[in-house]
Structure 1
Amino acid sequence: MQSDPTDHALATIASILDPQEARRGSEKAAAAEPKPATPPPIPAAPPPLEAHGYTKFGPGPMAAIRFKWTVRLDNGDYYVDETIGENSTPIVSGPMSREAAIQMVDDREGDARRRFEQLRSEMAGLTAAKESSEA
């Protein structure tokens, strides 16, 4: 008597699936077992920024008019030098703490970037309005 090829295929599939089912059952049992509670690892704090020499630049297409803020350490106190372009005399702010100096640089750069983007947006709007009125 000949066996049906479908029966043979089904038997093969069943033999393949049975070991996986057995493995899944043992994984489920292992997952159900209580595990000792361990706290998650505490991520290491990033090292503090080196304040002396911390520098940011303002936005803009021309280096000659670009703002630059640099923190420097002088006799244990921190100062922020603000310059416009490459050869200008710095405007000095300080003395202040390390954290305050870094925060000042970040704040000034952020404010300059926002003002630049606002001006650029306004100029783009004026250009678009002018082009539409000429059409």
Structure 2
Amino acid sequence: MDQPESLKTETAKPAEKSAKTAAATVVPFDQADGYTKVGPGPISAIRFRWTARRGDDGYYVDETVGPTSIAVSSGPMTADAAVKTVDARARAAIERFEALKNEMTGNGPFASAGRAET
């Protein structure tokens, strides 16, 4: 289903943005509903997604893992707080993913210490 240009979501892609260079996101108050970010990772079944939605008493952030999971919701909160929550959770996921990736490839903070012991 096509969405109007004003409601299209922004997706964080690890190849395009790193956690260190991600800038603050400015979303107009009336466009916070539907604001979405997707976490990093090679497998969609375990990839996190955060979506802000408007409820009767404020905004909520729905967090899902994979395309078929049941959402865990946080809220109610203001539109600005919902966008900041989505951004913060996506940024934290990118940082954790990068740390895990670096550890697995031997570029982590303990890489030199581990080599000295063997």
The verdict on a shared fold, with TM-score over 0.5 as the criterion, is yes
Secondary structure of the 1:108 match is helix
1:83 is matched with which residue?
64
Moved over 6 A (4+): none
- The number of equivalent residue pairs is 84
Alignment deviations for residues 21-68 of structure 1 (CA, whole Å, 9 cap, x no partner) = xxxxxxxxxxxxxxxxxxxxxxxxx77261000000000000000000
8 Å contact kept, 2:27–2:83: no
1 or 2, which has the higher helix percentage? 1
Looking at structure 1, the residues matched to 84 and 72 of structure 2 have their Cα atoms a distance apart, in angstroms, of 17
1:99 is matched with which residue?
80
Secondary structure of the 2:106 match is helix
Check if 1:63 corresponds to 2:63.
no
Moved more, 46-55 or 112-121: 46-55
Check if 1:48 corresponds to 2:17.
no
Which structure is richer in relative contact order (CA contacts within 8 A, separation 6 or more)? 2
Is the radius of gyration larger for structure 1 or structure 2? 1
Q: % of aligned pairs identical?
A: 51
- Find 2:96's aligned residue among 110, 115, 130: 115
Structure 2, gaps ≥5 residues long: 1-25
Question: Aligned ranges for residues 26-45 of structure 1 at < 5 Å?
Answer: none
Which amino acid letter does the alignment assign opposite residue 86 of structure 1? Answer: P
Looking at structure 2, the residues matched to 74 and 93 of structure 1 have their Cα atoms a distance apart, in angstroms, of 11
Per the normalisation by structure 1, the TM-score is 0.57
Q: CA deviation at 1:76?
A: 4.5
8 Å contact kept, 2:57–2:76: no
Q: CA deviation at 1:75?
A: 1.5
